[in-house]
Amino acid sequence: MYCNNCGLKIDPEDFFCSGCGKRIKNKPDIESSEPEMKDFESETSTSRKLNFTKTVFFSFNNHKIPIHRCIFKGIWIVALICILGTLLTAYSTFALGSNEYPGANSPISQDRIQTDKNIRLCEQIATEYSNSHTYSKDDVYDCDNMAQDVWNMLKAKGINSRIAVGNFESAGDSIIANGKTVHKSPDSGNLGEIEVPGRTYNVSNSSTIDGFNHAWVLAEVSPGSWLAVECTGGYIVYSDENEMYYQGLTFSNPGNYRDFLSLYRDWKIKALDYENERSYYNELIKTYNNASQSEQIAMKSGIDVAQRTLHEKEQAFLKTDSELNALLRYG
């Protein structure tokens, strides 16, 4: 049979429609005995279990909603909660990252972050290199070799660097041999600047270069800002810790540094040769000026030879001197 109100098929034994809830037939007398009431409840319960497969409706504010629609709505609600939770987690992660580096998206903050990364990388390379290499004072494997190695390691990591040479008093005792890491943190240490030499090196001031007794590396951790790397000790040095690390001569690569060493040796030989020839020629001229006319005639050919020799040695020296100063100026 079917319900007269909603048309749903119902069991003849039902007292109420399972779809709309309309009364189908009268209940037994409520004044009936207690056992009969129990039988009625049992019968009703059995009837509803048997009709559970029928379409079931929930009624909210007198509106009938199928149960499968409620299930779908529940799934959408759960999915929406999951999406909101994911977005909240992503936002929290981004907020924590922003707190670690306030204003991290600004150009200034990005530069500072990159500078700190480069400083830590320089310190790591210096430490690892020092732990795997031995510094030797007898020129078997000294600071020159080590500076070239570290320069190459920094270059491989994309950090621009220069090989530096300078004058350190008792460098092997007070700076290198102790191997102590006493540098400051990146927040407190000051980065340094370097300048290309503006003066010309000649015989009178060659003692400056002769006094150079140490080599190290200067790493450009940010544009125009340099950090000294002590290769033999395995640590970094800020400018306010030892300004001598930011003085002296610098070279853009190991090849230029080796060219400097070779050219400077040649420069010293030619400079000395030229000075000796000039002194000889000056003494010869002094003797010539004090000689008699007949003696001067005899000396004239020798003076001409000495003059040509002096000119040749002067030209050779000036050529080497020009090459040396160009290399020192442009590194």
Tell me: the pLDDT tens digits for 306-316?
999 999 999 99
In the block, tokens 């002096």 appear at 310
Interval 280-308: pLDDT, tens: 999 999 999 999 999 989 999 999 999 99
> Residue 194 and residue 317: Cα distance in Å, rounded?
29
Interval 2-50: pLDDT, tens: 777 777 777 777 777 777 777 776 545 444 444 444 444 444 444 444 3
Length of the chain counted residue by residue: 331
> Residue 72 and residue 306: Cα distance in Å, rounded?
111
Judged against a pLDDT cut of 50, whether residue 55 lies above it is answered with no
Q: What is the pTM of this model?
A: 0.58
> Residue 228 and residue 191: Cα distance in Å, rounded?
9
Going by C-alpha positions, the residue among 263, 288, 20, 237 that lies closest to residue 122 is 237
